[in-house]
Amino acid sequence: EVQLLESGGGLVQPGGSLRLSCAASGFSFSTYAMSWVRQAPGKGLEWVSGISGSGGSPYYADSVKGRFTISRDNSKNTLYLQVNSLRAEDTAIYYCATSPNRYNVLYFDFWGQGTLVTVSA
């Protein structure tokens, strides 16, 4: 059974940083591209970032480029998102999701339950 467990969210001041983690199990982690998708309170889904199975190809939405960094440790079956220079508009539930392709984020077949990031003074 595929399981994705996000952690690392919390309350942070504007300009602050967090490191989100997603522990994966139940599938061959290194053969899947992975993504972070966020959802602001009461709003729709927004794709944030993706990374190939090897970790060599990161992709970002324009809204987070230069502030967020995606990475993965295939030896630990864990996906990360380093979020810096946080703004109020980054407040959201952050989901990790799998993509059944080694190289590109084509669609999202399994999702975690999400971790909440709140940016507020």
Interface with another protein (CB under 8 A), residue from 7, 31, 113, 120: 113
30 or 39: CB nearest another protein: 39
Q: Considering the rule CB under 8 A, would residue 105 count as an interface residue with another protein?
A: yes
Query: Could you tell me the two tokens for 57?
Result: 């190809």
What DSSP string runs through 33-96? EEEEEEE-TTS-EEEEEEE-TTS--EEE-TTTTTTEEEEEETTTTEEEEEE-S--GGG-EEEEE
9 touching another protein, by CB under 8 A: no
Chain-centre distance of CA 50, in angstroms? Answer: 8
Q: Is 47 a residue that touches another protein (CB under 8 A)?
A: yes
Applying CB under 8 A, does 54 fall inside the site for another protein? no
Stretch that binds another protein, among 8-16, 22-30, 44-52, 71-79 (CB under 8 A): 44-52
Among 23, 55, 111, 116, which residue sits at the site for another protein (rule: CB under 8 A)?
Answer: 111
Among 20, 24, 79, 114, binds another protein (CB under 8 A): 114
Buried b (16+ CB within 10 A) or exposed e, 49-78: bbbbbebeeebbeeebeeebbbebeeeebb
Please report, as ranges, the residues that interact with another protein according to CB under 8 A: 35, 37, 44-47, 50, 59-62, 95, 104-114
